[in-house]
Amino acid sequence: MKRFEYQITSYPMDKKTSLIEMQEDLNARGRDGWEVVSVSTSEFAHLGHTAFLKREIAEGAGAK
C-alpha cells in the first residue's frame, strides 16, 4: 500500500516578487519529490496563498 507524507506551506503576498518566489520555492520542493495537491487563498498568510503538498514515502522508510 502506498503511504504519503504531507506538508503545508504559506506564501504571504506582500511584495511584488512574491509569486516568483513562490514558484521558485515550489519548484525546489518538486525536485525533492513534493507534489502540489491544492492551493488556496490564505487569510492567515496576510492574504497570500497556502499550498498543500504530498510525496510518497518509500517502502521501509519513515516520515521525515
pLDDT at 9: 93
Report if residue 46 sits inside a domain. Answer: yes
pLDDT at 39: 93
- For 4-59, the pLDDT digits (tens) are 999 999 888 877 668 889 999 999 999 999 999 999 986 654 678 899 999 999 88
For residue 38, what are the domain limits?
Answer: 3-57
CATH number at residue 34: 3.30.70
Report if residue 53 sits inside a domain. Answer: yes
Report if residue 64 sits inside a domain. Answer: no
Domain count, the chain: 1
**pTM (2 decimals)?**
0.77
Instruction: Give the DSSP letter string of 23-41.
Output: HHHHHHHHHTT-EEEEEEE
Cα 32 from Cα 5, distance rounded (Å): 13
Instruction: Give the DSSP letter string of 1-64.
Output: --EEEEEEEEE---STTHHHHHHHHHHHHHHTT-EEEEEEEEGGGTSEEEEEEEEEEPTTPPP-
Cell of 24: 521558485
Report if residue 41 sits inside a domain. Answer: yes
pLDDT at 58: 86
Report if residue 23 sits inside a domain. Answer: yes
Report if residue 62 sits inside a domain. Answer: no
pLDDT at 25: 96
pLDDT at 37: 97
Report if residue 24 sits inside a domain. Answer: yes
